A and B are shown apart, each in its own frame.
Chain A
Amino acid sequence: MITSTHYLVLGAILALIGTVGVLTRRNVVVILMSIELILNAANLNLVAFARELNQIQGQVFAVFIIAIAVAEASVGLGILIALFRNKETVDAGEIDLLKW
């Protein structure tokens, strides 16, 4: 019997993998992909709760999260292209203009 707990544990695992990716990778493209993983894990939780409570609101919020994820990915990749044009790198460690 698959309960909501299964979905929540899976969501937690995916979110943790995404967190590790965001924190450890140096390639900005992969960092953006890891953020997508985290957002997907959040969606999984929302859908599981929507199913458990037999309400649709969770799925509505998942739709909103997907919209925000699209906006985030497009702006992030736009920034990445601008960054690559200026600094010729996709390494997050080399973006240190605001560091002193």
Chain B
Amino acid sequence: MLDAAFFYAFALLAVTGAVLTVTRRNAVHSAIWLIVSLLGVAGLFLLAQAEFLFAVQIVLYVGGIMVLFLFVIMLVNLDRAMKESQFSKQWPVALAVAALAGFGLTAVFRKAGAVLPPMASPAEQGNTQWLAQVLFRQYLLPFELASVVLLVAMVGAVLMARKKEGARS
């Protein structure tokens, strides 16, 4: 019962944050509401017994990515963009596409929704310990590949944001 109350509270937080992220005019407000949405999802991770992901979500998303976003918003001058229309001219088409996707998902849920069993009992092992064991044994190669992806992203970000000196790139 308490479980359900927490679920709906966090779900409301996540959905409200998401809607306001998409609709706010000021990009800084969007970023703040995105933080709210991410915190709601973090709470849902906690409810689904993913404690490690809960911590990662808060430290990395809210602490890292959102600070990055806010930095970039401060760097680029958004005053002019704020005065213009916020939605592209093709927004009816976009909404139609999204509605179509929504109908498709609803159809899938109507078909499969009743089949999904209730959640299994919690594991005896600690979440972080279990995750580390699987991650560093079974998924060691993808883990290393992810580090390479991050390195490439780092180099790419520096290269993109760098000031060009003279005519040579």
CB distance from B78 to the nearest CB of A (A): 6
- Residue in contact with B119 in the complex, picked from A4, A9, A77, CB distance below 8 Å: A4
Task: Count residues on chain A whose CB falls below 8 Å from chain B CBs.
Answer: 72
Contacts of A88 in B (CB 8 A): 77
Smallest Cβ-Cβ distance to B97: which chain A residue: A23
- Contact indicator B11/A10 (Cβ below 8 Å): yes
How many Å lie between the Cα of A66 and that of B62 in the bound state? Answer: 12
How many Å lie between the Cα of A37 and that of B38 in the bound state? Answer: 8
- Contact indicator B72/A14 (Cβ below 8 Å): no
- Contact indicator B130/A21 (Cβ below 8 Å): no
- Contact indicator B161/A44 (Cβ below 8 Å): no
How many Å lie between the Cα of A5 and that of B111 in the bound state? Answer: 12
Known interface pairs A33-B21, A50-B50, A67-B149; A25-B134 also in contact (CB < 8 Å): no
Contacts of A67 in B (CB 8 A): 146, 149-150
Known interface pairs A17-B19, A36-B34; A51-B48 also in contact (CB < 8 Å): yes
- Contact indicator A60/B149 (Cβ below 8 Å): no
- Contact indicator A30/B27 (Cβ below 8 Å): yes
Pairs A–B under 8 Å by Cβ, sample size 27: A4-B118, A5-B116, A7-B48, A12-B102, A12-B109, A20-B98, A23-B88, A24-B87, A26-B81, A27-B81, A29-B69, A30-B22, A40-B37, A43-B45, A44-B45, A60-B131, A67-B149, A71-B149, A72-B153, A73-B68, A77-B72, A77-B157, A78-B159, A81-B160, A82-B161, A89-B80, A92-B88
